[in-house]
Amino acid sequence: MASIRWSEAMSVGVARLDRDHQILIGLINRIDEAGEDETTRNRVLPEVLAILIAYTVFHFEREEKVMRACGYPNLGTHHEEHRALTREVQELQRRYRRGDPDLGRNEILTFLVGWLNHHILLQDMDYRPHVEGSKVADAAAESHGEFDLGTLLKFRAPEEGEPA
Ligand SMILES: [Fe+2]
């Protein structure tokens, strides 16, 4: 059972951005689908968190490109919100790496579901009227290209004791 399911009500009116949101949802659901055993704790969680953070940064850059292209008036505020959201999820990753005993799989999942819902349903809905159905928005979103492993490696610092 998926923790979050994408629905039309979550559409921001730009297919490429909706696709990004679906990918982020898919990553969060991977944590839900994994068991509560040692493998999840030691392999699935760190892997998903690293990819989620890298993809989030990539996605926020795409969104800001679209907002800029469409002359969205609240770009400055939205950019600050993106920075705050990135810091929140990076802090979660740091706590996890430090072995915070209060941070099990379920706590991480609850945090991420709330975090993404807040981003899509509250913050992104604000730009929707400015970008919906716009060819300029589509072109700007496409111009950001595809996420690749190189992007991931750039953002993922090696963990302690791990060969660089
Ligand atoms: Fe978004």
pLDDT in tens, 61-86: 999 999 999 999 999 999 999 999 99
Q: Quote the ligand 1 centre to 67 CA distance (angstroms).
A: 11
The Å distance, Cα 164 to ligand 1 centre, comes to: 31
Task: Give the distance (Å) from ligand 1 centre to CA of residue 119.
Answer: 6
- Report how far ligand 1's centroid is from the alpha carbon of 153 (Å): 22
What does the pLDDT look like over 122-136, one tens digit per residue?
999 999 999 999 999
Q: How far is the CA of 1 from the centre of ligand 1 (A)?
A: 23
User: What is the dotted CATH code of the domain comprising 14-146?
Assistant: 1.20.120.50
Q: Please give the distance, rounded to the nearest whole angstrom, from the Cα atom of residue 129 to the centre of ligand 1.
A: 14
CA distance 160 to 27: 24
Q: Give the pLDDT of residue 123.
A: 94
- Spacing, Cα 82 to ligand 1 middle (Å): 9
The amino acid sitting at 87 is: R
Q: What is the pTM of this model?
A: 0.88
Cα 36 to ligand 1 centroid, rounded to whole Å: 29
CA distance 4 to 32: 10
- Measured in Å, residue 24 CA sits from the centre of ligand 1 at 9
Distance 12 CA to ligand 1 centre (A): 8
Lowest-confidence segment of 37-41, 52-56, 103-107, 143-147 by average pLDDT: 37-41
CA 101 / ligand 1 centre spacing (Å): 30
Query: How far apart are alpha carbons 105 and 37 in whole angstroms?
Result: 10
Judge contact between 4 and 29, C-beta under 8 A. yes
> Residue 83 C-alpha to ligand 1 middle, in angstroms?
12
What digits encode the pLDDT tens for the residues 24-34?
A: 999 999 999 98
For residue 103, give the nearest of 31, 151, 159, 164 by alpha carbon.
Answer: 31
Task: Please give the Cα distance from 64 to 61 (Å, whole number).
Answer: 5
